[in-house]
Amino acid sequence: MTPPRILIACIGNIFLGDDAFGVEVARLLLQLSWPPSVHIEDFGIRGVDLAYSLLEGYDVAVFVDAAQRGYPPGTLFVIEPDMSEIASDASENAAMDAHCMDPAKVLRTAASMGAKVGRVLVVGCEPTPPPADEDVQMELTPPVKAAVPRAVPLLRDLVDRLLAPQTQIPEAFQETSLCIPK
């Protein structure tokens, strides 16, 4: 049996403080050895590149990103978005911005080009709210910086579960059961 092909897509903007969480996680992940069916890439804000990568026939796409969910800053979580909601929201303009990445728009664009991804998961980190008076932040806040190395074993475990011969991973993730407080 062929193992599932997994894309770990690390995303974020290095000029927006905690939004760079995924980019920083990518630096650590790319230093490690991974099974041949796992591809890790730092997409930064390159949504078009990610959309084209999703055309390569991945069974699972894991987005690593900062995401506001209402937890304390630095909290890690895994969620599985409802893809039917993303696909059905075709009324929203699917044009992608070259200076930021909207994962939902990337998924809609990829689907419109024929991409078929079996599952999409998000490994997220709760960011610290940015200061209102600063447009550019070049560093992660302390809680999110501390979460970066904690994301590596979380992703390793997730990949191990996805590659296990008998699926040990729930059909649908329950966000609350997978939160890892700071």
In a domain, residue 69? The reply is yes
Residue 182 has a pLDDT of: 47
- pTM comes to 0.86
Q: d(Cα 146, Cα 132) in Å, to the nearest integer?
A: 23
Q: d(Cα 13, Cα 22) in Å, to the nearest integer?
A: 9
Residue 104 has a pLDDT of: 86
In a domain, residue 76? The reply is yes
Q: d(Cα 149, Cα 126) in Å, to the nearest integer?
A: 15
Among 131, 147, 16, 134, residue whose Cα is nearest residue 71: 147
Q: What phi-psi label fits residue 74: left (phi over 0), alpha (psi between -120 and 50 degrees) or beta?
A: left
Could you tell me the CATH number of the domain that includes residue 47?
3.40.50.1450
Range of the domain at 84: 6-178
Residue 134 has a pLDDT of: 67
Q: Do 17 and 139 contact (CB within 8 A), yes or no?
A: yes
In a domain, residue 42? The reply is yes
In a domain, residue 122? The reply is yes
In a domain, residue 21? The reply is yes
Q: What is the number of domains present in the chain?
A: 1
Q: d(Cα 11, Cα 170) in Å, to the nearest integer?
A: 25
Residue 97 has a pLDDT of: 64
Q: d(Cα 159, Cα 176) in Å, to the nearest integer?
A: 20
In a domain, residue 71? The reply is yes
> pLDDT tens digits, the chain, 182 residues: what are they?
789 999 999 999 999 999 999 999 999 999 999 999 999 999 999 999 999 999 999 999 999 999 999 999 999 999 998 877 666 554 455 566 666 678 888 988 888 888 888 899 999 999 998 777 767 678 999 999 999 999 999 999 999 999 986 654 554 454 444 555 44
In a domain, residue 1? The reply is no
Which positions ≥6 away from 135 have C-beta within 8 Å?
none
Q: d(Cα 18, Cα 64) in Å, to the nearest integer?
A: 12
